[in-house]
Amino acid sequence: MNEETFHMIKRTTELQGISGFEHNVRDFMRDEMNGLVDRIETDGLGGLFGVKESQTPDAPKLMLAAHMDEVGFMVSSITSKGLIKVLPIGGWNPYVVSSQRFTIQTKKGEYPLVSSSIPPHLLKDKKNTSISIDSILFDGGFESKEEAEEYGVRPGDPIVPVVETIQMANKKTFAGKAWDNRYGVTLVLELLKQLKEEQLPSTLIAGANVQEEVGLRGTKGSVRKFQPDAFLAVDCSPANDLNGDKEAFGRLGDGFLLRIQDPGMILSREMKDYLIDTAETNKIPYQYFVSKGGTDAVAAHTLNEGIPSAVIGVPARYIHTHQSLFRIDDYEAAREMVYQIVKTFDRSVLETLKTF
Annotated active-site positions, please?
A: 212
d(CA 58, CA 56): 6
Radius of gyration over alpha carbons of the chain, in Å?
21
CA 260 – CA 354 distance, rounded (Å): 17
Neighbouring residues of 104: CB distance < 8 A, sequence distance ≥ 6 = 75, 84, 110, 111, 112, 113, 138, 140, 153, 157, 158, 159
Asked if 238 contacts 251 with a C-beta cutoff of 8 angstroms, the reply is no
Nearest to 69 by CA among 182, 222, 188: 182
H helix intervals, the chain: 3-14, 23-33, 145-150, 179-194, 218-226, 269-281, 296-300, 328-344, 347-352
Phi and psi of 18, rounded to 5°? -85, 175
